Every structure is written in structure tokens, then in C-alpha cells.
């Protein structure tokens, strides 16, 4: 990861540094999700943990009892794991959320009318720390994976498609949402990956 003392907030051409370390005595770590996953797998391997991939038909039983169990199918065979705890970290579409009885489940959701168009490029970051940009044209985020790999986002209508956004159009729009000095000094280049994530709070 990359230790950062803070981040920058912008509003059109206004750019303000928020110094976390000065304010709290603590830093943050810019730590790519793929790197987090790699490190977690390595740590599990060192602990001798058994990780089972590519399972089907997962079911969770007896969550209201002192002990519970999980069943799944792997290689056409049914397996059972007896558990002291079941931790459901399988996301919105996973089995865990749906296993909670409806009368015990309270859900809160807000769907936003916009998405984040994200682009990964082999370019130096726009800044040495993250920039969260508010502008009259919408939100933008300048992030990084390392000194030669950058991740950028811009707010777009949820109806937009990736095909509507060429690399040139993306860079042009991103620069319009950043303070002039930052935009003028940015290094641009071809995208490695581009996607639009619809946003919601759940």
C-alpha cells in the first residue's frame, strides 16, 4: 500500500488539503482491492485455512440455534460444515441476506440517478494524494494504484454506456472537473479498463 497523510477536496478551482496525520496522528493506506485480496489469501495459506471455491447450492441452516451449519455442492457431492458462527460476506445477491427471515430483516436502500465511470490507465497519478473533486459539471475522483498506475472516476448519468466514452472524451471531461493547475499538468494515456458502476446505498 501507499501511506497518505491526507487527501484533497476541490470545488471547481478551489483546492483544500485535509491533513489526516496533522489532525488525528494517523495516516491512511491507499491499498488496491486486488492487493488486499492477494494478501488475505496469503495470510489464510499461512494459517492453514481451507478455502473452497466454485461451490453451488449453498444453504445456511439453524441460525436461530446455538450451532448452525452450512451445506454446499462441490464436484457433484453435497458437503456440510458445522459452525459456531456463520459470517455472511457474500454480497447483495448472496445466500446470507436471503436466509435472514423477512420478519427479522430491515433493509434500507437509496438508488442514485447517476453512476461512476471509472478508468484505469498506466499513467502517473494526477496528484501525490487522492483528489475528491466537486464541480459544477459533477463529481470526479483521482486515485492511484502505484506511481505509474492511476484510477480515475467521473460522475455520469446512469443511462450512459462505456461505448459513449472514448479515452479522449474521458480525459477532456475529467480535466474540466479539476482545478486548472492540476488539469494542465496531468499525464494522459490509453485506458487499460473502463466501466460504469451504477450507485446505490443499501
Give yes or no for a contact between 18 and 6, defined as CB atoms under 8 angstroms apart. yes
Question: Which pLDDT band holds residue 104 (cuts at 50, 70, 90)?
Answer: confident
pTM attached to this predicted model: 0.79
- The number of beta carbons lying within 10 Å of the beta carbon of residue 16 is 9
SS3 label, residue 145: strand
Could you tell me which residue, 70 or 1, shows the higher pLDDT? 70
Rounded CA-CA distance 152/140 in Å is 7
pLDDT digits (tens, 9 = 90+) for 160-178: 999 999 999 999 999 999 9
Which set of grid coordinates corresponds to residue 55? 461451490
89-98: which pairs have CB atoms within 8 A and are 24 or more residues apart? 90/58, 92/202, 95/58, 95/59, 95/60, 96/60
| Closest CA relative to residue 148, chosen from 196, 197, 192 | 192
> Does the pLDDT value for residue 26 go beyond 90?
yes
pLDDT score recorded for residue 123: 97
> Does the pLDDT value for residue 109 go beyond 90?
yes
Average pLDDT over residues 145-159: 94
Per DSSP, the residues of 9-38 read EEETTEEEEEEHHHHHS--EEE--HHHHHH
| % of the chain residues with pLDDT over 70 | 100
> Does the pLDDT value for residue 64 go beyond 90?
no
Amino acid at each position: 500500500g501507499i501511506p497518505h497523510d491526507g487527501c484533497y477536496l476541490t470545488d471547481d478551482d478551489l483546492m483544500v488539503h485535509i491533513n489526516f496525520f496533522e489532525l488525528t496522528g494517523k495516516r491512511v493506506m491507499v491499498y488496491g482491492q486486488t492487493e488486499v485480496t492477494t494478501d488475505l489469501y496469503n495470510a489464510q495459506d499461512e494459517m492453514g485455512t481451507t478455502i473452497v471455491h466454485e461451490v453451488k447450492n449453498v444453504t445456511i441452516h439453524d441460525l436461530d440455534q446455538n450451532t448452525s451449519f452450512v451445506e454446499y455442492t462441490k464436484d457433484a457431492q453435497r458437503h456440510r460444515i458445522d459452525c459456531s458462527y456463520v459470517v455472511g460476506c457474500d454480497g447483495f445477491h448472496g445466500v446470507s441476506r436471503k436466509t435472514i427471515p423477512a420478519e427479522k430483516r430491515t433493509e434500507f436502500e437509496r438508488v442514485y440517478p447517476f453512476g461512476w465511470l471509472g478508468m484505469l490507465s498506466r499513467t502517473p497519478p494526477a496528484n501525490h494524494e487522492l483528489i475528491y473533486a466537486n464541480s459544477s459539471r459533477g463529481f470526479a475522483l483521482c486515485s492511484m494504484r502505484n506511481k505509474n498506475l492511476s484510477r480515475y472516476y467521473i460522475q455520469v448519468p446512469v443511462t450512459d454506456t462505456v461505448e459513449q466514452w472514448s479515452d479522449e472524451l474521458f480525459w477532456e471531461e475529467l480535466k474540466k472537473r479539476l482545478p486548472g493547475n492540476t488539469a494542465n499538468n496531468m499525464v494522459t494515456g490509453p485506458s487499460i479498463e473502463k466501466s460504469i458502476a451504477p450507485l446505490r446505498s443499501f
